[in-house]
Structure 1
Amino acid sequence: MFGLSRSLSTFSEMLLPNSCLLVRLTRQRRSQGIWTKFMKRSKEKALQQKEADDGFGFFSDVITEEMKQGSNKFIIEPSFVPCEDLIVGRLSFQGMNPVIERIMQEEEDAKRKKVVQKVEADVSDNEMAHRYSTLVGTIGRKYNTKRGHTREQIHKGESRSSAPKQKKLKFLKPQVD
């Protein structure tokens, strides 16, 4: 019995270090996982930095020092009047002060003239009317049924019987020589 208890005590002693060893191994694995994540992040940062440096090399003649510093990213406007397109000055409505209303009208007319001068027509009115008329016809044909299509041909002066029908070509066998 004495030998048996002794073997049990050594068995329990053997288990204790193994369990500690397992705990140590799991902690090591966790720390290795953390280190690998850290290493991946640092590698990604290094690659991004390298790509950014290469990009600056490609565009070095275009990028100015002010752009690198980023000092001119924003335009500072002391008033919000131009941002909101507000009217500056005195206002009058419904004939309360006719002099001011006349001044307002003149300023508005001057603004409209500037806008009209900036906008130029790319297409003349006649050309636009011609394009629109042809467009209406093509869109109308899109939604036309077969009956409507035949009516359209009759109105144009074509009849169904007078139009020669084209025969569908059949497959011709090759001649053997």
Structure 2
Amino acid sequence: DLGHSSGFYAGTWASSIDGGGYGSVELDVYGGWAGEITDGITIDVGAIYYAYPNSTKTVLVRNYDVFEVKGVLGFALGPVSTKVGIFYAPDQDSLSGVDNLYFSGDLGVSIPETPISLSAHLGYTDGFLTYTPDAKALDWSLGASATLNEKITLGILYTGVEGQTIDGVTDDAIVASLTARF
């Protein structure tokens, strides 16, 4: 990630996936502006391009890549922080002629005088990316992390979505993470 003191940022994120027609790699490219608008209140506006470079092209789906814009408002008070966000992906080839709207809410609590933080997330999707019959779905997660030093953080997260699994892609999961900052 690259960030400027003005608040502008750009970055990439990549992961291996096992997502059917999406292929085996997801590569995200993002940019935007984030900053504090007043004491304890932040805003983040930007755009994200989700690329699937080795996705399977079909007659019905020529391109799995998705572009979306976002707006996130954050609040912090002592060890508690919360964020509410909206993400919008307009109609594009990968969405089969339907747009997608996602609302998110996040809560974080740092346990004072410890390296441990707890997190919770709730999201609501309305549109193509739900993979549910009514095109509406909830997702959630609960997690904990421990900051080992200024550069290393370990985390564990349980995440799930409503509805039946779709080819294993939407199964609930436990995710372990190791974050290194340089």
TM-score range, shorter chain: under 0.3
TM-score computed with the length of structure 1 as normaliser: 0.15
**Higher strand proportion, which one?**
2
TM-score computed with the length of structure 2 as normaliser: 0.14
Q: Which has the higher contact order (CA 8 A, sep 6+)?
A: 2
**Higher helix proportion, which one?**
1
